[in-house]
Amino acid sequence: MSDAQVLLVGAGPGPVDLMTLRAARAVESAQALLYDALISEDVIALAPPGCVRIQTGKRAGKPSMRQDQINRLMLLLARKGLRVVRLKGGDPSIFGRVGEEAEFLRGHGVPVEVVPGVTAACAAAAQFNFPLTHRGQARRVVFTTARLEAGALSGDWSAAGDPEATIAIYMGREVVEVLSARMIAAGRSPDTPAVAVEQAGGTAARLVRGTLASLPSRIAELKSGPVLIVVGEVAAQAWEARPALNADLSRVAS
């Protein structure tokens, strides 16, 4: 393993067998584990006996530890000489604040390593049998989030009108109606295929299919787990039949 004192690790979308070997070994060697709210119990169980385990929250729309508190806690534990693993769902470089945390720690002289993980969009595409890019349909992929400011989507959504772009929207459940209207206004056809995937990558994952216009009504069929929305021609290839995860594989890193 690396000599870094703090490892910013991607746990993947949930199941332990979708972690990288490097990520699993990092957790197995942790002396202090700071993990996000959506990390599965199977992944947390990889930490050795005696490891300090601290749940830091970081779930959209829910109470959680402030980012500055997390930064200071990692620094405190590292200065105590502990090997710290900051465990994040998916990939830490995709909406995981890895840049902020790495900059803070390095600014205080703490060696840092980033360990990548499978992000939700890739997990959903693999699980429900659709590609994110496809010759003649999708030449590019945009990973984004959707956030309301004064009732309107923040940010520049001009890229959403590109008919050859697959748009993967993280944490979009609560703003799906505004999102749909904004993408249509940007030039995307209301008939563009769209899917919403709840708990992508996990055994409880669910898929709803529709179009950019119909997805707001369809997404109500999903429950309360994290939802990824994918808009683009490739979404038409999604289908619900998926291979069951091998129960033995879920213990491959244990």
Residues 21 and 86 grouped into a single domain? yes
Residues 24 and 59 grouped into a single domain? yes
Examine residue 55 and state whether it is found in any structural domain, yes or no. yes
Residues 105 and 124 grouped into a single domain? no
| CATH at residue 34 | 3.40.1010.10
Examine residue 22 and state whether it is found in any structural domain, yes or no. yes
The model's pLDDT over 92-112, given as tens digits with 9 standing for 90+, comes to 999 999 999 999 999 999 999
Could you say which of 61, 85, 115 is where a domain stops?
115
Examine residue 141 and state whether it is found in any structural domain, yes or no. yes
Structure tokens, 214: 């119909």
Could you say which of 115, 145, 170 is where a domain stops?
115
Examine residue 208 and state whether it is found in any structural domain, yes or no. yes
Q: What is the pLDDT of residue 62?
A: 58
Examine residue 87 and state whether it is found in any structural domain, yes or no. yes
For the entire predicted model, the pTM comes to 0.87
Would you call 85 helix, strand, or coil by DSSP? strand
CB 222 within 8 A of CB 196: yes
The model's pLDDT over 175-227, given as tens digits with 9 standing for 90+, comes to 899 999 999 999 999 999 999 999 999 888 999 999 999 999 999 889 878 99
Examine residue 152 and state whether it is found in any structural domain, yes or no. yes
Q: Report CA-CA distances (Å) from 212 to 42, 157, 160, 218.
A: 36, 15, 11, 10
Active site residues: 36, 58
Examine residue 251 and state whether it is found in any structural domain, yes or no. no
Q: Provide the number of structural domains found in the chain.
A: 2
Owning domain of residue 75: 6-115
Examine residue 221 and state whether it is found in any structural domain, yes or no. yes
CB 124 within 8 A of CB 172: no
The neighbour count for residue 69, using CB atoms within 10 Å, is 12
Q: With bands split at pLDDT 50, 70 and 90, how would you rate the model's confidence at 235?
A: very high
The model's pLDDT over 123-179, given as tens digits with 9 standing for 90+, comes to 999 999 999 999 999 999 999 988 877 667 777 888 889 999 999 999 888 889 999
Residues 110 and 125 grouped into a single domain? no
Could you say which of 75, 94, 115 is where a domain stops?
115
Q: What is the pLDDT of residue 117?
A: 97
What one-character DSSP code corresponds to residue 16? G
